[in-house]
Homo-oligomer: A and B are copies of this chain.
């Protein structure tokens, strides 16, 4: 790490620190395309550490994540907060295409100068999406937004990994998206800080709310057995608690009901996000989560650098072609070839 940036990047860094939105957009492209010096740029920018409140929205396609995110965003805008929004969804309404019907709200957001929206195209089979997306969150954080909101489809591993890089994870479900057992199997119970059953005016919504609560109670009871320090609490009352009391409390994910279409239940959601933020800070959990995130990021960066080093080496690429011929003849396998290359590469 030289600490010296090329003059073009030094110029970008200056405009980034000056708070120019165009510089943020250029910085994101720099990182997305892994252009020369992008690691140095990130190193320069991220020294200050995270400060924005990061809120993730995840759940199956069609659950209304975008609508809910927009409503939440508009609430923060009414409080004059500045927002970064990242959408990781190949079929997201943000990523181009017509904004029609109830999606009109998002086009309001898109033209609001206090909101910076970036859509991460998954571009088919491209790898490394999770690492890059987390770096985009970091860039938005470093740029100085009060909050960074993220939307992922939340079905695949990559998407779950991105969601884990936020402070507050909101899992959005609808009666049509399947039952509570499916949510448990998909690993959503482990990552959810807040459950939202959206389209709560539809048949089956009450049942889903009830089942989710039951599933969460079962899970909490199991956790209680292995840890006597666990105490349940009512998130709605947390705002009135003192820090000392909060320290002793574990967070039990509440299950809320909303109708994004009419705005019903969104006020409750805002209160619950606020309560969770308070708990994160007072309990020491925020610091812990950020430390875990840093550890994962070091691993992500090292893995990527290793890949870049290895697969950009002419010697390795030449060896690879010969190896494929040997594999075809049955003289080698991917395992012997990988072992040989590694032996020579590592000290």
Contacts and interface: CB of A to CB of B under 8 A. Distances in A.
Interface of A: 1, 39-40, 42-43, 46-49, 60-62, 90-91, 95, 97, 121-127, 129, 153, 155-161, 164, 177-178, 181-182, 185-187, 190-191, 291, 294-295, 297-303, 305-307, 309-311, 320, 323-324, 327-328, 330, 333-342, 344-347
Chain B CB within 10 Å, residue with most, of A49, A164, A185, A347: A185
Contacts of A124: 160, 187, 190-191
Given A294-B327, A333-B42, A161 B302 contact: no
Task: Give the number of times this chain occurs in the complex, counting copies.
Answer: 2
Contacts of A340: 1
Nearest to A130: B157
Contacts of A61: 60, 155, 177-178
B47 A338 contact: no
A15 to B, nearest CB: 20
Given A155-B61, A307-B303, A291 B328 contact: yes
A134 to B, nearest CB: 10
Chain B CB within 10 Å, residue with most, of A155, A191, A294, A334: A334
Given A328-B49, A339-B305, A346-B346, A157 B125 contact: yes
Contacts of A334: 46, 294, 297-298, 300-301
Given A91-B178, A121-B185, A125-B187, 14 more contacts: A39-B335, A42-B333, A48-B330, A61-B178, A90-B182, A90-B187, A97-B181, A123-B187, A156-B157, A156-B159, A157-B158, A158-B158, A294-B327, A345-B346
Chain B CB within 10 Å, residue with most, of A40, A121, A122, A298: A298
Nearest to A48: B330
B346 A309 contact: yes
A315 to B, nearest CB: 11
A127 B346 CA distance: 23
B305 A338 contact: yes
A74 to B, nearest CB: 25
A228 B268 CA distance: 60
What are the 10 A-B residue pairs with the smallest beta carbon separation, nearest first? A156-B156, A124-B187, A301-B338, A43-B335, A91-B182, A90-B186, A297-B334, A1-B336, A302-B338, A155-B155
A303 B304 CA distance: 9
Given A160-B125, A181-B97, A302 B153 contact: no
A164 B161 CA distance: 21
A312 B283 CA distance: 31
Contacts of A298: 320, 323, 334, 337-338, 341
B303 A335 contact: no
A316 to B, nearest CB: 9
Contact of A303 (B1, B306, B330): B306
Contact of A347 (B62, B178, B320, B346): B346
Given A298-B323, A333-B42, A125 B347 contact: no
A126 B156 contact: no
Contacts of A161: 125, 127
A1 B156 contact: no
A335 B156 contact: no
